[in-house]
Every structure is written in structure tokens, then in C-alpha cells.
Structure 1
Amino acid sequence: MEWRDTGILLSTRKHGENSLILEVFTPEHGRHLGVLRGGTSRKMAPYLQPGAQLDLTWKARLEDHMGAFTAEPERSRAAMALGHRIALAGLNTTLALLTFCLPEREAHRPLYNRSEALLDLLGQPDLWPLAYLRWELALLEELGFGLDLTRCAATGSTEDLAYVSPKSGRAVSRAGAGEWADRMLPLPDVLLGKGAAPDREIVTALQTTGFFLEHRLAPQLSDRPLPAARSAFLDLLARQSQRPA
């Protein structure tokens, strides 16, 4: 068995004296693991940082074996991420969620394309929070838990949408929420693609998407909590949003 693909490096762990097990996300083969012999060498180690883009060839005797990679670096993203705390926290969050959410060896090309585009924005920290929010919405959509924010679930109206139903993931207007408003999740303008998207709104929006990640998606995947990297990123973004302009 053999294939060649590009891929985002999610993580590495040592294997034997000089090899690594690479975990990557590829467009055609999904989240995939394999052994990279010589991965700890001085030649390869600088290129094998989380988020790196790699040209990969995978070989195995049988399809269900872990197999072995050969890897050539296409581009590194570490320098862009290290230059800004939000970017670094966002990189860690993105890779952790992909590792947590994606089944092995199942292609998710639309999500892959969005993930690659998101990581290529690491050098633009002013754009990163909004880009990350859109990516998280796409992650929920790709895995079957997308939000429907087009019209009110109760009245059908497209006006004055202010909440998200925690049960259905659908938008609810103020009139439609009525006495149940205090049980709803907030629907800031940024989730509707409106307004200037300040960081404080993005934090609120990520609290809403986080509910569905934690209470809808995660229980379907495992009994483990969401990666701590996401909470760390959200806390950092919240502190940034409180600073004077």
C-alpha cells in the first residue's frame, strides 16, 4: 500500500531511538499516523514543528498497518505563530481540536481546506480571531453539528435574531424566545456576519460555539473533555478584548 499527499503536522511523539510517530491531517486521507525514521535528526527536527506543511509519502504492507512516512517540508508556520501570543494559542487550539474531533483515515477535504487557509493567516494576528471563529463554525458543520442561524426557529422571522437554542442550534428572535430567553445562548452580530467583529463579540460567539463542541460533539466522540488549549485561547482572547483600544 502506498499514497502521496500533502498534510498539516498535528503532533509528533518519539518512537525508538531516532524515529518519530507523526500525526498529520491530509485532504485525501484524513487524520493519519505513521512512523518517520530519522525524524529526530538535526536535518529533520527543525521542520517537524506543529502546524508545518509537509509533502508526505506513506507506505505499509497492509492497509490497516500504521506504516511509515517519508516527509519533505513544504513550509513552516512556527515562526509566524511564535511572534504573537494569540497566534500561538490559536495554532495550539486548532491542532488540538483537529486531533480530538477527527476520526482516523476519514477524508474531510472542505475542513482541510479551511484549516490550511486558517493556519496561513498566523502572521496576521488582527485577522486571526475572526478567522478562527469561522473555522470553528465550519468544524461543527463538517461533523454534523452545524448551527442554523438563518431564521427564528419559533416564528420563522429573519428579524431581531438574538439567541441560539441550546437544543436545536437554531436562531431564535427576541419575540420567539419570550420567557425562555434566560435559557438561550447569545447570538452576537459577528455570528450573523454583521458588524465590525470586535474581540469581545468573538469571545461571546466562541462561548456559544463552545457549548455545542462540549455538550453535543464531544460526547459523541469520547468521554474526554475538550482540549485545554481551547480554554487557554479563549481566556487569552478575553483578556485582550478588555484592553483599551
Structure 2
Amino acid sequence: MNISVPAILVAARAHGETAVIARLMTEEHGLVAAYVAGGRGRQLRPVVIPGNSVEAEIRSKSDNQLPFARIELSTSRAAWMTEPLPAAAIGWACALTASTLAERNPYPSLYSALEALLEAICHAPSARGWLAAMVAFEAMLLRELGYGGEKPDMAADLDTQFEAFRQLHRPIRDYLLAGNPRDVMAARNALGERLKRMIE
């Protein structure tokens, strides 16, 4: 693998003293895990935040090796990670993507939908402006992976959108995240609780 592409960083875990293993969602190559040297260092720490968009140079000598990646920030969403509801939404969207997609299978429509969802979360004045996009993204994931998932009514009122969000809980838990750690689904539960408090 030898590519230079835009990507959305959807997960990162510490590796050694200063590096991270990042999971990058790309349009043409799908989800790619890569070693980022210095990812926990002062220079890259603000970049290696799930939800950020980056320019990534990904290199490996063979397809069987974990690639190395050099990343540069293109869009930071770190400011919204200090706001409880946007942070919960960004965290859930990234965790869901990182936990459900097989690596290196391209899903260009999901890449575009995730980018649009993250932009909506960060720029809409409230969840009224992005909840329908969240439901649409979850339903698209279900469809892309063969589990159905009806397209939501994007013009529905907030109560209807929240009910659609609630109805997707079981298929996501039982199909998309079957066998995954409980903390992944806990991220959706936390988002649901924050949305419920906002609506009530």
C-alpha cells in the first residue's frame, strides 16, 4: 500500500511510549489501520483525535504488514469535544464506524455520509440540525452491511427523529455490534440519554 488520501480519524489507541495505532476511514480504501509514530507527542496529540479529518500518507512494503502513516490536520473538531452533546455524537459516530467495518473494503457512500454528519454536528446550532443525519448514517451502515435499515424522513420533527433513533438501537446492538465490547454500545446509550434530556 502506498497512498496519499484524505481520511477521517475514527479511532486511536496507544502503542508503545509515544506512538498510536490509528484507524482511518478513507473514501477509496475503506477503513485502514496504521502506525503513527509520535502520535501521542505534543505535536500530533491535537491531530490524533477521533472525528478529525486529516491528510494521510500511508505506506507499507506489503499488504500483510501494518502500514505506517504520516498525518496532517485538515479539519479539527477538537473544539466540539468540550461540549457534552456534540462530543457524545462525534464519539458515537466514530466508534460505530471503527467497530463495524472490515478493513480495506471501500464504502465511498459511508465515507461521504460520515464527513457530512460530522460537519452537521459541528455547525448546526443544536441537535435539531443533525439528529436526522445521525439516524440516516446508522441506517446506511445497516443497509451497506446487509441488515436492512430504512431511510429516515429527514424533514420529520425532532420527536419523530428521536423515535427513529431509538428504534435503531436493537438492530445496531444485535447485528452491527454483536460480539463487540459493551463500551461501544455504551457510547450510543450515553448519546441517547443526552438527547432525551434535551427533548424533554
Taking structure 2 as the reference length, the TM-score comes to 0.89
Paired letter, 2:90: L
Could you say if the C-alpha distance between residues 57 and 146 of structure 1 is closer, same or farther in structure 2, counting changes exceeding 3 Å? same
**2:103 is paired with a residue of what secondary structure?**
coil
Over the matched positions of the two proteins, sequence identity in percent amounts to 27
Higher mean C-alpha deviation, range 96-105 or range 136-145: 136-145
Could you say if the C-alpha distance between residues 127 and 232 of structure 1 is closer, same or farther in structure 2, counting changes exceeding 3 Å? same
Paired letter, 2:130: W
| Larger RCO (CA within 8 A; separation ≥ 6) | 2
Could you say if the C-alpha distance between residues 35 and 110 of structure 1 is closer, same or farther in structure 2, counting changes exceeding 3 Å? same
CA deviations 1:4-45 (Å, max 9, x no partner) are 211111122222222221111111111111111122222221
Quick check: 1:238 aligned with 2:199? Answer: no
Paired letter, 2:117: L
Match of 1:54 in 2: 54
Q: Distance in 2 between matches of 1:146 and 1:203?
A: 19
Match of 1:212 in 2: 171
Paired letter, 1:8: I
Could you say if the C-alpha distance between residues 103 and 236 of structure 1 is closer, same or farther in structure 2, counting changes exceeding 3 Å? same
Quick check: 1:117 aligned with 2:131? Answer: no
Q: Distance in 2 between matches of 1:71 and 1:194?
A: 37
Q: Distance in 1 between matches of 2:189 and 2:199?
A: 15
Q: Distance in 2 between matches of 1:43 and 1:194?
A: 42
Taking structure 1 as the reference length, the TM-score comes to 0.74
**1:235 CA displacement:** 1.1
Could you say if the C-alpha distance between residues 230 and 41 of structure 1 is closer, same or farther in structure 2, counting changes exceeding 3 Å? same
**1:234 CA displacement:** 0.7
Q: Where do residues 143-162 of structure 1 align in structure 2 (5 Å cutoff)?
A: 143-148=145-150
Q: For the Cα contact (< 8 Å) 1:60–1:68, is it kept in 2? A: yes
Match of 1:179 in 2: none
**1:123 CA displacement:** 2.7
Q: For the Cα contact (< 8 Å) 1:81–1:123, is it kept in 2? A: no
CA deviations 1:31-68 (Å, max 9, x no partner) are 11111112222222122211111111111111111120
Q: Distance in 2 between matches of 1:44 and 1:147?
A: 37
Q: For the Cα contact (< 8 Å) 1:93–1:230, is it kept in 2? A: yes
Match of 2:37 in 1: 37
Q: Provide the aligned length of Structure 1 versus Structure 2.
A: 196
**1:146 is paired with a residue of what secondary structure?**
coil
Unaligned runs of 5+ in 2: none
Could you say if the C-alpha distance between residues 17 and 81 of structure 1 is closer, same or farther in structure 2, counting changes exceeding 3 Å? closer
**1:45 is paired with a residue of what secondary structure?**
coil
Q: RMSD across aligned C-alpha pairs, in angstroms?
A: 1.9
Paired letter, 2:164: A
Could you say if the C-alpha distance between residues 54 and 210 of structure 1 is closer, same or farther in structure 2, counting changes exceeding 3 Å? same
CA deviations 1:202-237 (Å, max 9, x no partner) are 221112112221233334xx3655521001101111
Match of 2:78 in 1: 78
